């Protein structure tokens, strides 16, 4: 199996993540038509519970496999790399089974605990998905550790296609049995998609499990590990990240219960509280598109920094961190600005019948940048083995988020917007503390503000141009045909023009260099217009 460069791996995962999220953006409006905003609230609440359990079961172990396999390969210990995967696979199969049974048995108490009793059937229907995603995650971690992002990317796309098709089908078929059944039907695709992805990855592994070694490779020089030693290493890497990620998503589960309870305390009845909560679900779905690219970057950058740290190559560690932060700002800042200035037309385009809630995007787009930075920081700290203190910082952030939500959401004048301010507080606390921890651990200084200046300037120009283009194009197209088509075309064109302006502005002010362009895959650079390439120095 051939290794890939970090840039190519990131590009592959980014394309796959974008495809997955675009499919999701097509799927969600159609699901909303079937179950309505009243049904979308318990559906989103059920997924909040599922994602929390998924993270506890998968994220830490998958990343531990990737990190440990990459380290062992860097040391040319190929047999133990394979043994690590096999031990981890057994653990994930056992844990996935236990957590699936847990979801089935406790579906009703979980639904009642977050104040969404209608989510009961959806939580139960999602239980098998935990088992199948555990199997898929073990294989994904192994392939990522070997530096091959292709199987992960393809499996994600296959999984989402199946998810969209089967979820819409079963939501429609089960609607005749009531909203609760329709919400459960909308989750069937998640289980079937995970099963199909797991089967694909298992077949891919069987075809690509052999390592190619050089002729002068001498196995006797390699320090081998016992099964117990490898198990200890797996748990040592997996537990802190599982706790860290689990706490972040536990905050979301607590947030769901907290938010619904405080919405009711503000004077809303149960139905209106569910509708308001659905706005938060739509907001999270939209910011999930750029966050998926950042997650792809985290996945691609983890083996690079981990292997460099294993070899004690501080120069390469610093290089990988610089690269990660630069790309994070280049992606997250324009995404946040674009979603803020085009929030209303974007909501009208994606959720034509249920476009309420655009105000959350206008106010909360900054959450996207903060979330992206905290994700990258967590990946860096995991790579250099400094995640325990970072986990404590996340706990502090969650406490800040819960307190902020509790105070603000109950105020009728603020309402659901209080969750946005809570998220800002919740990410800002670990962001500042993690920054200090990285500098102290690596004995290097990072000026995050300085790194963000060029992307921010280019994004500001992009935002103005995109906003003006959308308004003027909409009025022009409305002369021919008013309504959804005029809004959709003007919004898509505004996004495209804004993207060109952003890249051109970056080229003019030195936000991207020839070195950056040369490190990109040729298929990506071919998409950049020549008049922009000639401006890059």
How much is the pLDDT for 153? Answer: 85
* Runs of H (alpha helix) within 208-269: 227-265
How much is the pLDDT for 257? Answer: 76
Note the pLDDT tens digit of each residue in 253-301: 777 778 888 888 888 888 888 888 888 888 887 887 787 777 766 666 6
Cα 504 to Cα 195, 221, 331, 472, distances in angstroms: 43, 52, 15, 22
Please state, rounded to an integer, the average pLDDT across all residues of the chain.
83
Give the mean model confidence (pLDDT) for residues 169-184. 92
Give the mean model confidence (pLDDT) for residues 59-68. 84
Cα 284 to Cα 166, 277, 351, distances in angstroms: 22, 11, 14
Give the mean model confidence (pLDDT) for residues 416-428. 91
DSSP state of 528: S
Note the pLDDT tens digit of each residue in 314-325: 777 777 777 778
Q: Which residue in 536, 533, 525, 472 sits closest to 8, CA to CA?
A: 525
* Distance from the first to the final alpha carbon of the chain: 36
Greater model confidence, 210 or 168? 168
Among 146-155, 200-209, 310-319, the minimum mean pLDDT is found in 310-319
Check whether 425 has a pLDDT greater than 90. Answer: yes
Cα 102 to Cα 123, 201, 412, distances in angstroms: 11, 26, 37
Note the pLDDT tens digit of each residue in 99-136: 999 999 999 999 988 888 889 999 999 999 999 999 99
Contact by Cβ (8 Å): 373, 431: yes
Residue boundaries of the structural domains of the chain:
6-209+227-446, 450-537
Greater model confidence, 424 or 80? 424
How much is the pLDDT for 25? Answer: 73
H/E run at residue 445: none
* Rounded Cα–Cα distance for residues 385 and 412 (Å): 45
Note the pLDDT tens digit of each residue in 343-365: 999 988 888 776 677 888 888 89
Check whether 26 has a pLDDT greater than 50. Answer: yes
Share of the chain above pLDDT 90, in %: 31
- How distant is the alpha carbon of residue 72 from its chain centre? 27
How much is the pLDDT for 98? Answer: 95
What interhelical angle do 179-207 and 150-174 show, nearest 10?
A: 160
Task: Please report which confidence band the pLDDT of residue 220 belongs to, taking 50, 70 and 90 as the band edges.
Answer: low
Q: State the sign of the Cα–Cα–Cα–Cα dihedral 356, 358, 363, 368.
A: positive
Note the pLDDT tens digit of each residue in 79-97: 888 898 899 999 999 999 9
Q: Is 357 left (phi over 0), alpha (psi -120 to 50) or beta?
A: left
DSSP state of 354: -
* Runs of H (alpha helix) within 75-175: 78-105, 107-113, 120-145, 150-174
How much is the pLDDT for 3? Answer: 47
Task: Please report which confidence band the pLDDT of residue 493 belongs to, taking 50, 70 and 90 as the band edges.
Answer: very high
């Amino acid at each position: 199996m051939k290794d890939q460069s970090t840039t190519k791996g990131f590009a592959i995962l980014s394309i796959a993540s974008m495809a997955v999220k675009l499919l999701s953006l097509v799927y969600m409006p159609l699901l909303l038509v079937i179950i309505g905003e009243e049904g979308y609230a318990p559906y989103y609440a059920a997924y909040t519970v599922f994602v929390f359990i998924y993270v506890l079961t998968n994220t830490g172990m998958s990343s531990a496999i990737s990190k440990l396999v990459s380290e062992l390969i860097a040391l040319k210990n190929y047999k133990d790399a394979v043994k690590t995967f096999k031990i981890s696979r057994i653990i994930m199969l056992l844990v996935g089974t236990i957590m699936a049974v847990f979801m089935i048995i406790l579906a009703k108490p979980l639904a009642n605990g977050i104040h969404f009793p209608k989510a009961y059937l959806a939580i139960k229907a999602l239980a098998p998905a935990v088992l199948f995603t555990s199997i898929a995650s073990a294989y994904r971690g192994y392939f990522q550790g070997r530096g091959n992002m292709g199987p992960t990317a393809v499996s994600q796309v296959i999984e989402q296609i199946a998810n969209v098709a089967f979820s819409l089908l079963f939501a429609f078929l089960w609607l005749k049995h009531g909203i609760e059944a329709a919400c459960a039907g909308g989750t069937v695709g998640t289980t079937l998609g995970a099963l199909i992805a797991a089967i694909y990855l298992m077949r891919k592994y069987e075809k690509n499990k052999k390592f190619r070694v050089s002729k002068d490779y001498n196995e006797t020089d390699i320090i081998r590990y016992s099964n117990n030693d490898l198990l200890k290493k797996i748990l040592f890497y997996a537990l802190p990240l599982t706790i860290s990620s689990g706490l972040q998503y536990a905050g979301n589960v607590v947030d769901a219960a907290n938010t619904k309870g405080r919405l009711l305390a503000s004077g809303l009845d149960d139905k209106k509280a569910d509708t308001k909560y659905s706005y938060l679900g739509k907001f999270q779905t939209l910011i999930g598109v750029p966050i998926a690219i950042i997650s792809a970057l985290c996945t691609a950058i983890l083996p690079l920094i981990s292997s460099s740290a294993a070899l004690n190559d501080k120069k390469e560690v610093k290089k990988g961190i610089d690269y990660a932060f630069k790309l994070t700002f280049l992606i997250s800042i324009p995404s946040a600005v674009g979603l803020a200035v085009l929030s209303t037309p974007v909501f009208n385009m994606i959720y034509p019948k249920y476009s309420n809630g655009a105000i959350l995007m206008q106010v909360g787009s900054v959450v996207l940048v903060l979330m992206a930075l905290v994700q990258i920081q967590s990946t860096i700290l995991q790579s250099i083995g400094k995640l325990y203190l970072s986990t404590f910082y996340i706990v502090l952030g969650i406490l800040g988020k819960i307190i902020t939500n509790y105070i603000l959401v109950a105020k009728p004048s603020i309402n659901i917007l209080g969750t946005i301010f809570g998220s800002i507080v919740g990410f800002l606390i670990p962001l500042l503390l993690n920054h200090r921890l990285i500098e102290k651990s690596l004995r290097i200084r990072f000026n995050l503000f300085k790194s963000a200046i060029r992307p921010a300037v280019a994004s500001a120009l992009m935002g103005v141009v995109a906003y003006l283009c959308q308004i003027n194009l909409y009025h022009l197209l409305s002369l021919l045909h008013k309504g959804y088509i005029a809004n959709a075309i003007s919004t898509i064109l505004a996004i495209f023009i804004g993207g060109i302006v952003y890249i051109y502005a970056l080229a003019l002010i030195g936000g991207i260099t020839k070195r950056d362009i040369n490190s990109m895959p040729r298929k990506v650079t071919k998409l950049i217009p020549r008049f922009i390439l000639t401006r890059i120095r």
